[in-house]
Amino acid sequence: MKKIDTTKLKNIVGGHNIKTDPADLYIYGSDSSVHHAMPWAIVRPETTLQVQKIMKYANDQIIPVVARGGGSGMCGQTVPIQGGIILDMKKMNRILEINLEDVYCRVEPGVVDDDLNLALKQYGVFYPPTPASSRIATIGGEIANNASGVRSVKYGATRDAVLGMKVVMANGDLVSLGAHTRVEASGYQLHKLLVGSEGTLGIVVEATLSFVPIPEFRCMGVANFDVLKDAGEAIGSIMASGATPSMLELMDSVAIKAVNKTMDLGLKEVAAVLIFEADGMVKEAVDYEINKMKKICEKHNGQDIHASYDPKERAKIFLGRKKLFPALSKYDDNLASTALADDMAVPYSKMAEMAGKIHEIAAKNNIIMTAYGHCGSGCMHTKILMDTKRKDQWDSAKKAITQVYDYVRSVGGTTSAEHGIGISKAESFKIEKSDSLNLSAGIKKAFDPNNILNPGKLAQAPEDWVTATNLRYSVNS
């Protein structure tokens, strides 16, 4: 391990913003993924100038630097597999400007998503790309992973909302990318390139984001399906119909059982539930969208179909989906819910087949997998429920993941819709992007010649994700 000059770092950020205690290092060694590796130091900058000085020092000494927000990433993006400095950005959490006239806000990377929306709400606007982890997810982390959420089907992902940013480069230089305008045709759109780069190209220290008005009317509906394929086909038909849902979510039987067991919701335990929503400023327009989606669900054998404008009823309808991720851990007390192949995207016409394929692959490999997600965006989530102490279960999981992604690529899908690549999905990512990896490597070299920014991620990630870095689970041999 290369020795870090903690005295120099303390001179930059102060001793209270440096952590080297083994217990702290251990905690920062994992995120919400299955991976774990120890950093050498935790540094918490409070200003852009401090970030510049840290990066200049790290670049001169060839020390890896991994920027971290709330640690809610599911693929190991902030796991420091080559050691180095974890740059904890949560202290840079100021909302710098809310400009209603020009429809943008400027924020530091440590601003938490829910805190930003709370500040925007008083002006009647909101920042749409809100992931399920919005209570802890930071804007910097969302930019790094191009995060989205339940309303991405209508409002898009983070990349669609980022107008510009200020970025500290690997050598400590500060650059401004993008603009404060909604459109820009001036050369390469480098700010868009940084979105989804998982901290491998630069450290975002300020972001300019667009926002939209909070709709005056929201109506949410639900439909039960006895056959998973029917629910999948309803999704494809809704999106092909010209309807504009503001939410279109799927939960399969595994998901339904998990939330019923955890929260005693009393949901009907059918093959699948479809949750759909429309929003807007004119009630008649929202009625039109909801009725169109209801009719499509009926056509595909949906049952118990109902919809409501009432906020309490909407919250009740959505509660199971909102709490699904933690609920999956309670599906079976002997099984853990692991984030592995968890957010692929496929064309709408393949949603039904994708959901069925997940269950088929799970049965084939003697594990449990669930199919759910932001299906209106083409995003299919799955979690693998397994006994993490058993090596044979990890071996089965790896086979299942390979089979899932082989199918995804065969139908023109993509490895990740919103959670990124990190370590967990690198193998499939490299296969999918095999003809452009040289281009990506050239971009990385141009931005970060010494390869200190989150090394070992994306195309650089190890081939064998199970043994290449420590798991945060104890696995029996």
Cβ–Cβ under 8 Å, residues 340 and 384: yes
Which of 213, 238, 268 represents a domain boundary (last residue)? 213
Let me know if residue 75 belongs to a domain: yes
Let me know if residue 477 belongs to a domain: no
Let me know if residue 474 belongs to a domain: no
Contacts of 235 (CB under 8 A, 6+ apart): 248, 250, 274, 348, 351, 352, 375, 376
Give rounded-to-5 percent helix, strand, coil for the chain.
40, 20, 40
Least Cα distance to 129 among 73, 68, 212 occurs for 212
The rounded average pLDDT for each run of 10 residues, N- to C-terminus, in the chain (477 residues) is 88 97 95 93 98 98 97 93 97 98 98 97 95 92 94 94 98 97 90 97 98 97 95 94 94 91 88 96 97 97 96 90 84 88 89 91 94 88 91 92 95 93 92 95 97 93 67 80
Q: What is the DSSP letter of 16?
A: G
SS3 68: strand
Let me know if residue 455 belongs to a domain: no
Cβ–Cβ under 8 Å, residues 30 and 81: no
The rounded radius of gyration (Å) of the Cα atoms in the chain is 22
Residues of 14-28 as b/e, b for ≥16 C-beta within 10 angstroms?
A: eeebbbeeeeebeeb
User: Phi and psi dihedrals of 44, rounded to 5?
Assistant: -120, 90
Let me know if residue 473 belongs to a domain: no
Residues 227 and 142 in one domain: no
Least Cα distance to 294 among 364, 349, 344, 224 occurs for 224
Let me know if residue 354 belongs to a domain: yes
Residues 124 and 204 in one domain: yes
Contacts of 298 (CB under 8 A, 6+ apart): 305
Let me know if residue 184 belongs to a domain: yes
- Give me the CATH number covering residue 397: 3.30.70.2740
Tell me, what's the pLDDT at 320? 83
Tokens 């949901």 belong to residue: 267
CA pair distance 385, 403, nearest whole angstrom? 16
CA pair distance 136, 423, nearest whole angstrom? 22
Task: Tell me how far CA of residue 317 lies from CA of 221, 265, 392, in angstroms.
Answer: 8, 10, 38
pLDDT tens readout for residues 6-50: 999 999 999 999 999 999 999 999 999 999 999 999 999 999 999
Neighbours of 355 (CB within 10 A): 27
For the four alpha carbons of 156, 163, 207 and 209, in that order, the dihedral sign comes to: negative
Whole-structure pTM value: 0.94
Least Cα distance to 321 among 238, 250, 244 occurs for 250
SS3 65: strand
Tell me, what's the pLDDT at 477? 66
Tell me, what's the pLDDT at 301? 97
Number of domains comprising the chain: 4
Angle of helix 253-263 relative to helix 311-322, nearest 10 degrees?
Answer: 110
Q: 227 lies in which domain range? A: 217-328
Let me know if residue 410 belongs to a domain: yes
Q: Which residues pair with 105 in a beta bridge?
A: 98, 209
Sheet holding 65-68, edge to edge: 18-19, 41-43, 85-88, 65-68
